[in-house]
Amino acid sequence: MYRTHTCGQLRVEHAGQETLLSGWVHRRRDHGPLIFIDLRDRYGLTQVVFDSTNAPEAHAVASQARSEFVLQLRGLVRTRPPESQNANLPTGEIEVVASSAEVLNPAKTPPLYIAKEGGEDEALRLKYRYLDLRRERMQKNLILRHKVVKFIRDFLDDESFLEIETPILIKSTPEGARDYLVPSRVHPGEFYALPQSPQQLKQLLMVAGYDRYFQIARCFRDEDLRADRQPEFTQLDLEMSFVDQEDVLTLIERLFTELSRELMPHKRLTTPWPRLTYAEAMQRYGSDKPDLRYGMELVDLSATVATSQFALFGEAAANGQQVKGIRVPGIGGYSRKQVDEVVELAKQAGARGLLWASLQQGTDPASVRSSFGKQVSNDEMAAIIATMGGKIDDMLLIVADKPSAAAAVLDKLRREMAARLGMADQNVLAWAWVTDFPLVEFNEEEGRWDAVHHPFTAPLDEDLVLMDSDPGRCRAKAYDMILNGYEAGGGSIRIFQREVQQKLFDLLGISRETAQAQFGHMLEAFEYGAPPHGGIAPGIDRIVMILAEEPTIREVMAFPKTQQAVDLMTNAPSPADERQLRDLHIRVADKPNT
């Protein structure tokens, strides 16, 4: 036996009991004849006292112990003298007086401090992840993650959902993200793909009659990484039969509202969740995943400046462009250098330029310091200020560009300014729905229509006719759940009628042969009685990241990869040996020079 209690367990009521503890040396305070060791495991810290007069052998062990040694000790629990109790520790009212002790395993000086977090290069944390994971921050996050997944499982179980596993080795489909491929040994030259999501499989489960399915599913996408994107990540994959969009939204909203209240009781949220159409979100925020914790909405000035003599405004109106801006409060006093930085930021986001006007001196047009004051009349400036609701000490930032570019630039500026000004309340969970996404969008490069969500997404009933006449305006029964400026999940009601599916394939330029080769199993399945169905896939990593107030998804994953998709701990990926390659019928064409 190694322990009778954990290091987070003992309290005053245990005083007088004999205890056996095992754990890591968190801190050691050596007073010579008296040594204190804080023994740590994932349950907490317990102070152990080693007294050279009462237990010289145990004391000798303690004097040899160092940080992160694994120790086992036996001793008596006792209430600490009142003046030496530690209110900061749950176990702070007691201590264990060691009678015997043993070093189960010594430890080298660790490259990371376990007791003191932060500061070091993240590469070091990733290389020694098993040490990093000992720290409170990662422990807290992984425990929260466990609780989130547990809550989801319990909730869905209560709602009659079945958790069903789907294969990791599946058929590659060409659309969407780049697949991770796995070579087949048995079939030379052929490959499995790892699922980008179990999309088709869950739809086939609906055909199979498992009308309420979910899975905590690992997904794989071979694309470049971001703070909120890893090559493998986890989704709550969920699908329901005999439902419309409202049924899915209602259930998921209830799940995550209850989850938020249960696990994050100190955070506020708005119920019912706000709903925005895609068009509305783009118009008001320039983003399909706006952070609703603050305002600073985009203002459309196109009408205000439609008749302006200022060439930039006039041309915009003539070319079907938009003039839009945001009002940033409190930065009217920005120096020329600071303003230039903001302009530079806008250019990085794709702006050709950025107009600005400082209301540091107030809203009288004559007192406004701006980049375009000489180009417009006082009346025009006054109209712009009025339309944007300008107040003293504001900075107005304005772009004139095609709608997509204006949206991208103002979204970037809105987020950057909100971050600088600390406008987002950390104690708010701004859940919301974005609905009515376009069904397809035109791919300029390839000269064809692409599915915005995926090729099984149903169009809105009333927009069905647009699939022929004006596909770009055809809306879909597709929806995203958003949270604090992140896409927390997305889903749709699927097409379950063969004719509509064929119509969409035709629109996407997928020939019957191609459709048969790629989706034949789906099309065939749908001919055997497919129920109306739809679903959603919330991203577990992102949601936990936001709940934990962490800046990256890596902080809520046990063993994440770097931006180059490398695991610094195991050094994956690594070359395969010749024997393995031969078995897999693979020859490496471009070997790096080593």
Of 120 and 258, the one with the shorter C-beta distance to RNA is: 120
Nearest partner of 223 among 279, 278, 178, 270, judged by Cα: 178
Residues 498-557 touching RNA, rule: CB under 7 A, are 551-552, 554
x-or-dash pattern for RNA, window 125-164, by CB under 7 A?
-x--------------------------------------
Q: Does residue 453 bind RNA (CB under 7 A)?
A: yes
Q: Does residue 303 bind RNA (CB under 7 A)?
A: no
Which two three-digit tokens encode residue 147? Answer: 């609780």
x-or-dash pattern for RNA, window 93-132, by CB under 7 A?
--x-------------x-xxx-xx--xxxxxx-x------
Q: In this structure, what are the phi and psi dihedrals at residue 194, rounded to the nearest 5 degrees? A: -85, 145
Q: Does residue 232 bind RNA (CB under 7 A)?
A: no
Helix/strand/coil for 269: strand
Q: Does residue 224 bind RNA (CB under 7 A)?
A: yes
Query: Which helix H or strand E contains 103, and what residues bound it?
Result: strand 94-105
Instruction: For the CB of residue 328, give the shortest distance to RNA in the complex, in Å.
Output: 19
Query: Which helix H or strand E contains 191, and what residues bound it?
Result: strand 191-193
Q: Among 14, 134, 454, 494, indicate the residue that binds RNA (CB under 7 A).
A: 454
Of 126 and 483, the one with the shorter C-beta distance to RNA is: 126
Residues 348-367 touching RNA, rule: CB under 7 A, are 348-350
Q: With CB under 7 A as the contact rule, which of the stretches 191-199, 308-316, 515-523, 541-549 interacts with RNA?
A: 191-199
Q: How far is CA 114 from CA 48, 125, 142, 444, in A?
A: 19, 11, 16, 52
Q: With CB under 7 A as the contact rule, which of the stretches 2-10, 196-204, 319-327, 392-400 interacts with RNA?
A: 196-204
Of 233 and 256, the one with the shorter C-beta distance to RNA is: 233
Q: Does residue 215 bind RNA (CB under 7 A)?
A: no
Residues 378-437 touching RNA, rule: CB under 7 A, are 408
Q: Among 19, 22, 46, 196, indicate the residue that binds RNA (CB under 7 A).
A: 196
Q: Among 60, 143, 227, 558, indicate the residue that binds RNA (CB under 7 A).
A: 227
Instruction: Give the DSSP letter string of 441-509.
Output: EEETTTTEEEESS-TTBPBPGGGTTHHHH-GGG-BBSEEEEEETTEEEEEEEEBP-SHHHHHHHHHHTT
Instruction: For the CB of residue 472, give the shortest distance to RNA in the complex, in Å.
Output: 14
What end-to-end distance do the CA atoms of the chain give, in Å? Answer: 51
Q: Number of residues in contact with RNA, rule: CB under 7 A? A: 73
Q: How far apart are CA 443 and CA 434, in angstroms?
A: 22
Tell the residue number behind the tokens 């500061």, with chain if given.
119
Q: How far apart are CA 335 and CA 355, in angstroms?
A: 15
Amino acid identity, position 238: L
- Per the DSSP assignment, residues forming a β-bridge with 356 are 397
Q: With CB under 7 A as the contact rule, which of the stretches 243-251, 262-270, 296-304, 345-353 interacts with RNA?
A: 345-353
Q: Does residue 571 bind RNA (CB under 7 A)?
A: no
Instruction: For the CB of residue 189, give the shortest distance to RNA in the complex, in Å.
Output: 25
Residues 27-86 touching RNA, rule: CB under 7 A, are 27, 29-34, 36, 38, 47, 49, 51-53, 66-67, 80-81, 83-86
Query: Which helix H or strand E contains 162, and what residues bound it?
Result: strand 162-163
Within 13 Å, how many C-alpha atoms sit on residue 332's CB side?
17
- Per the DSSP assignment, residues forming a β-bridge with 48 are 37, 96
Give Cα 222 distance to the centre of its chain: 17
DSSP summary character for residue 592: P
Instruction: For the CB of residue 455, give the shortest distance to RNA in the complex, in Å.
Output: 6
User: Radius of gyration (Cα) for the chain, nearest Å?
Assistant: 30
Q: Among 176, 362, 373, 532, indicate the residue that binds RNA (CB under 7 A).
A: 176
